[in-house]
Amino acid sequence: MTPHSARLGAFVARTTVATLLATASQTAFAAFIDKADNTDNLNLGSSWIDGVVPGSNDIVSWFQLAGANSVLLGGDLSFNGLVIGQTGGPVTIGGANLLTIGTAGIDMNAASQNLTIDSNLAITPGSQTWN
């Protein structure tokens, strides 16, 4: 192996590792996804302000909705956590599907209304904070 090909091989290896780490770090961090002010099923992009259905690393939030928000899951969903803030009415999540809440738990520190989960519910094992 020539010194040039050894340097090229080391460069390719470092670049590959850096790319893998960058990709992994993007999927490991949770995003905060805000609920749109509508009653579309939660498994639809239209139910979320950014048009993207949250995943298991994401924390979903209900803030500044005009009135009560009663929504169906529409499919099995998994969120890392739920945050309920100032809303114009209670928040109800229903349906026959499974909602899985991850280790971020449920945060209602800023809640002005109640949250009712009226669907099948699973809690991810691990330490959780519920406020």
Residue 39: partners with Cβ closer than 8 Å, 6 or more residues away: 69, 70, 71
Tell me: do 73 and 13 sit in the same domain: no
| Domain assignment of residue 21, given as a range | 1-29
35: nearest Cα among 97, 98, 77: 77
For residue 9, the tally of other CB atoms under 10 A from its CB is 11
Give dist(CA 86, CA 64) in Å, integer.
5
Show the tokens assigned to 49: 């302000």
Tell me: do 24 and 37 sit in the same domain: no
pTM over 0.85: no
Show the tokens assigned to 116: 């009712």
Q: How many domains does the chain have?
A: 2
From first to last of its 131 residues, the chain has per-residue pLDDT tens of: 555 444 444 443 444 334 434 434 344 577 999 999 999 999 999 999 999 999 999 999 999 999 999 999 999 999 999 999 999 999 999 999 999 999 999 999 999 999 999 999 999 998 888 88
